[in-house]
Structure formats: structure tokens, C-alpha cells
Amino acid sequence: MKLTLRIWRQSSPAEKGRMVEYPVEDISPDASFLEMLDVLNEKLIADGEEPVAFDHDCREGICGMCSLVINGTPHGPERNTTTCQLHMRKFEDGEVIDVEPWRAKAFPVVKDLVVDRSPLDRIIQSGGYISAPTGTAPEAHSVPVPKADADRAFEAAECIGCGACVAACPNGSAALFLGAKVTHLGLMPQGQPERWDRVVNMLETHDDAGFGGCTNTGECSVACPKGISMDVISRLNGDMLKASVGGKKKR
């Protein structure tokens, strides 16, 4: 395949960025999007130019590190797919493809396509944990969990914290991320001791970090590579309300 890439280049947070055009050719339709960028970078290095900086780690759709806005959509055109699992056969030969970093006030650009997503880590540090003792895993049936709760918690736990929800949201809100963590931990018996402090502390950290408020546009859930449902935001709002009126109510 032959493609024209228009890539956001920005040498540092203080510099002004711009789109730069790069032609690439001999790209296999079976290459992943990141492998296609590898081909470009190898050519740039061979030509003595600065390679394009982009985040990645597992390349298996697990870690949430890959984070590109492709043709205006976080993680590109394929639903429920991370950038690293997106393949070039989803594009047309000869296509012009725009590649940009996550765009959000809370995610400043570090370099090129890399943004600082540490605000999501700070949200987790403020409440995304449980105080159950560590050690040998307890016998599976010693703490019964209703099947419906286990299923909902499991679905919420699929959030890989990539930040696509923030990049897709017109308000730059991380409500879907927050809702996924609050739902995952709040449905489990082990998550009950910190349940009410968790939602208050995580939401405060979220707002302090510069994320915007949720206005239920739903873009977050559409962009989420794990298909996290907007239901988690309803649960987040419900827990926040209960926490603010006493923090002792049962679900």
C-alpha cells in the first residue's frame, strides 16, 4: 500500500506543533498501524531525520499505552479496537491519513504524538484501590458475589485506562474512566470499605487535574476500545449522590 501520512510534530511541550506530510510505500495490508509507523521511523532514521515519537507497549490491546487520533477518531475507524490492533487493511490504498495526539486540556503534549496521561494515574492513586490484605488468594466460594454484580464488575474492569474517552469527549471529561473504576471496585465486597471516600476523592482529583464535566454526549463510550458502557457513569453519579448525603446507603 502507498499512503500519505499527515502527522502532528511537536518537539517539546513549549514548542508550537504542526502537521507534517510523509509519504510511505510498500506497507503490507496486514501490518498494524504501529508497525506502519515503525516503517516510517526506520526510513526517517536512515535519512538522518528525527523519528516520530508515539506511545506503545504491549501491542496486544492490553496496556492502554497506544494513543493516536486517526482521521479525527481516537484509535481510528474500527470500533472496539486499540490503535495497536488496528490493521492497514482497514484503509484504502493511496489514502491520506491524519495522525494526531490525544487532544485534551488535562493531557498536555510531551512530544509529537505522546501526551502526559499521569492525571489518570493520580485519579487511581486517590481511590482506585482496596484495603483487603494481600497474600494467598482466598477460596473462591468464601466470599459469595451475585453473578450479575460479578459480570458488571468484570465488564467495567476491562477499562485499560488509555484515555480515548477523554480525547473523544467535547468537554475533555474522564467520567467514563472514573465510572469504570468506581463500578468495578464498588460492586465487589472487597471494595466496600472505601466505597464512599473513593468516589469523592477520585472525582475531586479528576476536577483538579483539569478534566471537564460530563454532559452525556456518549462520544466516550463510542471511542472506548473496550466498549465500556455509559451505564458506569450513571453508577458514578449515583454513588456520588449517596456519598454526598451521608455515605452510608447500600446499593
Residues at the interface with ligand FES (CB under 6 A): 56-59, 61-66, 82-84
In the complex with ligand FES, the residue whose CB is nearer, 70 or 188, is 70
CA 127 and chain centroid, separation: 18
Query: Which C-beta is closer to ligand FES: that of 65 or that of 187?
Result: 65
The least CB distance from residue 216 to ligand FES, in Å, is 27
C-alpha count within 13 angstroms, C-beta hemisphere, residue 223: 29
Q: Which is nearer to ligand FES, 8 or 33 (CB)?
A: 33
Q: Which is nearer to ligand FES, 177 or 196 (CB)?
A: 177
Q: Report the number of secondary-structure helices (H) and strands (E) in the chain.
A: 8, 7
Minimum gap (Å) between residue 220 Cβ and ligand FES? 17
174 half-sphere exposure, CB direction, 13 A CA radius? 33
The full 3-state SS of 11-61, as one line of letters, equals: CCCCCCCEEEEEEECCCCCCCEHHHHHHHHHHHHHHCCCCCCCCCCCCCCC
Nearer residue to ligand FES within complex by CB, 224 or 243: 224
Tell how strand 69-70 and strand 73-74 pair up.
antiparallel
Give the three cell numbers for residue 67: 494513543
**Could you tell me the smallest distance in angstroms from the CB atom of residue 163 to ligand FES?**
11
**Distance of closest approach, residue 66 Cβ to ligand FES, in angstroms:** 3
- β partners of residue 6: 21, 98
Taking the complex as a whole, how short is the minimal distance between the CB of residue 61 and ligand FES, in angstroms? 5
